[in-house]
Structure 1
Amino acid sequence: MWDQRPTSQGRSASATHLLWSVFLVIFVSGGLFFGYLFYSSVRDIVAYADLPFFFGGPLNPVHAGAPDEPQPAAEPLPPDQVNVLLVGIDRREGEQGPWRTDTMILFSLDPISKTASMLSIPRDLWVPLPGYNMQDRINTAAVWGEMFGYPGGGLAYAKRAVQYNLGVPVDYYVRIDFAAFQKAIDAIGGIDVDVPEEIVDPEYPTPDGGTMRLVIKAGRQHMNGDLALKYVRTRHTTKGGDIGRARRQQQVIMAVRDKALSLNYPLNRLPGLIQTLGEGVQTDLSINQILSIARAAQQVQTQDIRHGVIDETMVVDWTTPDGRMVLLPQRDKIRRLVSEIFPVRTKPTASVPLGNPDQLAQEAARIEVQNGTTTTGLASQVASDLRSAGYNVVRFGNADRFDYAQTVLIVYNEKRYTLDSLKDRLHLTDAQVSRQAASSADVDLRIILGRNAVSQSPTPASPQ
């Protein structure tokens, strides 16, 4: 976390200019987005082992840099794509965390194809939380991570929760609070936004805990920090609610991107100024990694940025037994959206040995293991073995029948590296692999264990 200690108005302005350089970095960050997964129940899901995350520690003092100084060396990022989870919190003065992440957007950058993507995740999406045998709104993941002492804290767990539910690696996070957002908009002189229709919010929250009537006229509006914050926060509008707010947030991000690019802020100023941002921004990216992303970001054109929102056509309103109003995901519809926004390009398998854990994690194929035999606990054992080897097994249980003589591998979505690795590990022939339309399947690959798997099992099967 960075400490903010502004000593003058000029320094504060420089810091907020920097925030938008970082915000631009966040926007065009990204990675391989490998499909979407929501689970209808967590009863049959065994939690993954804790994943090793990179923790951004205190930054060493660095020179601020002069405009004519050479650009600093950038730290290498993953060779293809990188994902960054942007979360926004409503932190009031004097409040102690942890805070719910009321804004959640997953950004992707592909430096090879020079494309970027962003997907907004509704805060009320009702999902399973890995490792804790519970379901809750996805915006509570950071809170539960803090409360349960997850390694790296709540934001590290928020990454894991998004990765678990989306089936996509999440490399880094950036957290921004709304106060920093507002100050930064003012520092860049405001932004221009086309408001598609008049906004009327009779219950917009005020800093003192009350409410006010907010009206924003339709048409092109020049917004200062206060108005821009109201525009992206309002949700009690005539229509749209949280999903309408997600669309407005993306609209503002694009406006900020355009303004930040026009400022042409020199990258060699980032390391020194980044330490002045204070608690308004927290990330597990290092300064040099931010530089690497910033340089790649400069190559992405506006027309090469894909947008998506998990909207009202992909969820169902539901009230929990204890009275909470949440959104239930429609998995098949969300999967199609994800496939459009984040097309998957699998690497040729010849370049990497089969079964490589890093490559398996990068492809993030969702695997289900089913027991098609009368051997008790076979699916549990095989699922455990596969997880230990780095495979993303999300569920195991019984098959539709128990007389399978040979193991069968069903492919719903083409995950070539994982498929080839499983064929090699389980000694499967092409005849034992079949492909089916994904339809509403919430996994990419399904293994149905046959009697031959019993003899191939390295250890006796234990009861589930």
Structure 2
Amino acid sequence: MDKPNSSTQEAVPIRQNLSPRDKFFLRAKRRFLRHIWLARLGLVVAVVASVYLAIVVIGFALTRIGIPNYVHLVSDFIFTPAAQIHSQEGRTNFLILGKAGAGHDAPDLTDTIIFASVSQGKPSTVLVSLPRDIWVPAIRAKLNSAYYWGKQRAEAGGLVLAKSEVEAIVGQPVHYGIVIDFSAFKQIIDVIGGIDVDVDRAFVDNKYPIVGRENDECGGDREFKCRYQTVSFSAGTQKVDGETALKFVRSRNAEGEEGTDIARAARQQKIIVALKNKILSPAVIFSPKKLLGVWKEVKDSVESDIDPSAAAILARRILASRNEVRQLVLSEEFLANPQVSPRYDNQYVFLPKEGNWSKVHEWINCLLNSNCLSGK
């Protein structure tokens, strides 16, 4: 009992001798700690443009700065110093990648590719999904393999190469990059109790791959039917768990419109928005257990080059723009789909329809400057 009493008595004169600046930060710290769940949410909302952007921020902020530096982090969150974050013309841009992860034949292929831009002024966030099948001449492969080939060159080269190739497509600098493992994505949804997803069109996929059976000979079956399962979704709003959400975003063999890469990119954004809505709901933000559960799943499953100060500033900006999020998919009107040929390694690919990406540059610039009348 003596030790706590001694500490309390010694604290009084120390506080009396604090400078006005130190007193301010002490008050900020006390206020921060009284509302620790809100601060955590602010950081959680910094990584996947609405959700990815959020979850990674808390992970990298807490991992790199530690608890003792919370006050400095709060200062950045409150004052959002422009010198502490990269931006151009008042916007900070991210590349958000989702990879298959361990247990898959190609764990470093990034089938989720989203260009995200957050305003440092008037609250707004823009998300543009890019098709994974865009052909990248520099690596003679699709865009979804840029991260993989970058990692072959250097340990941190995956994000470097992927960001560079996306910059060439969108015509904007990509200041930061974020990679999330789909396994964490699935677990996060389960931790928060599932999400509500609005399915626009019903679809059936009879060739959804079964993990672990990619090389199964199926007893000599030439169609290898044992490697696949059937997944189906009805139109309308429905609650899904992590495994079902993963099937919803990864399905690519449905008949009709939902079997296209463009439709799959749109489904990915639906899951992101649904996840964001659930994280911001009272059922989650008032539950320290759920927030800590999300953090536990994220901390070992996310790669990013974001620094803690930038994370805090983005947390503030994204919270401010949570109701001003535009979600778009790079339209097929900008893309050409050439015949499968040895020129493209006999793969299904997309090329810029005009022969270069200038029209896409104009469209993206239009979106970021808020002078587009529509998504086109």
**TM-score normalised by the shorter chain: which range applies?**
0.5 to 0.7
Compared CA separation, residues 78 and 147, structure 1 to 2 (3 A):
closer
Instruction: Name the SS of the counterpart of 1:122 in structure 2.
Output: coil
Match of 2:13 in 1: none
> Higher helix share goes to which structure?
2
Compared CA separation, residues 24 and 211, structure 1 to 2 (3 A):
farther
Deviations 1:153-174 (A, max 9, x none): 2111111111133221101111
2:298 to 277, 281, 287: 277
Task: Give 1:121 deviation, angstroms.
Answer: 0.6
Task: Give 1:297 deviation, angstroms.
Answer: 1.1
Contact 1:145 1:154 in 2 (8 A): yes
What TM-score does the superposition give when structure 2 sets the normalisation length?
0.68
Task: Give 1:276 deviation, angstroms.
Answer: 6.6
Distance 1:71 1:156 in 2: 26
Match of 1:357 in 2: none
Compared CA separation, residues 65 and 58, structure 1 to 2 (3 A):
closer
1:341 correspondence with 2:350: no
Match of 1:395 in 2: none
**Which amino acid in 2 is paired with 1:306?**
R
1:320 to 341, 349, 353: 341
1:83 correspondence with 2:93: yes
Task: Give 1:206 deviation, angstroms.
Answer: 1.5
Distance 2:360 2:176 in 1: 23
For 1:36-435, list aligned pairs within 5 A.
59-60=63-64, 62-63=66-67, 72-74=74-76, 76-78=84-86, 80-93=90-103, 99-129=108-138, 134-149=139-154, 152-208=156-212, 209=214, 210-240=227-257, 241-262=260-281, 263-264=284-285, 277-302=298-323, 304-318=324-338, 319-321=340-342, 322-330=345-353, 331=357, 333-343=359-369
**Which amino acid in 2 is paired with 1:162?**
V
Compared CA separation, residues 218 and 266, structure 1 to 2 (3 A):
closer
Compared CA separation, residues 152 and 58, structure 1 to 2 (3 A):
farther
Compared CA separation, residues 23 and 282, structure 1 to 2 (3 A):
farther
Contact 2:203 2:254 in 1 (8 A): yes
Identify unmatched segments of 5+ residues in structure 1: 1-17, 30-55, 346-464
Instruction: Name the SS of the counterpart of 1:91 in structure 2.
Output: coil
Contact 2:100 2:106 in 1 (8 A): no
Identify unmatched segments of 5+ residues in structure 2: 1-39, 52-59, 78-83, 215-226, 372-376
Instruction: Name the SS of the counterpart of 1:73 in structure 2.
Output: helix
1 or 2 for the larger relative contact order (CA 8 Å, sep ≥6)?
2
Distance 1:82 1:105 in 2: 14
Task: Give 1:325 deviation, angstroms.
Answer: 1.2
Task: Give 1:339 deviation, angstroms.
Answer: 3.5
Match of 2:47 in 1: 25
**Which amino acid in 2 is paired with 1:334?**
V
Distance 2:101 2:302 in 1: 12
Instruction: Name the SS of the counterpart of 1:313 in structure 2.
Output: helix
Task: Give 1:139 deviation, angstroms.
Answer: 1.3
Compared CA separation, residues 119 and 234, structure 1 to 2 (3 A):
same
Over the matched positions of the two proteins, sequence identity in percent amounts to 30
Match of 1:42 in 2: none
**Which amino acid in 2 is paired with 1:328?**
L
Instruction: Name the SS of the counterpart of 2:280 in structure 1.
Output: helix
Distance 2:42 2:242 in 1: 13
Compared CA separation, residues 289 and 314, structure 1 to 2 (3 A):
same
Contact 2:334 2:359 in 1 (8 A): yes
Distance 1:86 1:161 in 2: 13
Kindly tell me the number of residue pairs found equivalent between the two proteins: 293
Distance 2:64 2:365 in 1: 41
Compared CA separation, residues 335 and 106, structure 1 to 2 (3 A):
same
Compared CA separation, residues 20 and 329, structure 1 to 2 (3 A):
farther
Task: Give 1:266 deviation, angstroms.
Answer: 10
Distance 2:163 2:130 in 1: 13
> How well do the aligned residues superpose, as a CA RMSD in angstroms?
3.6
Distance 1:60 1:275 in 2: 15
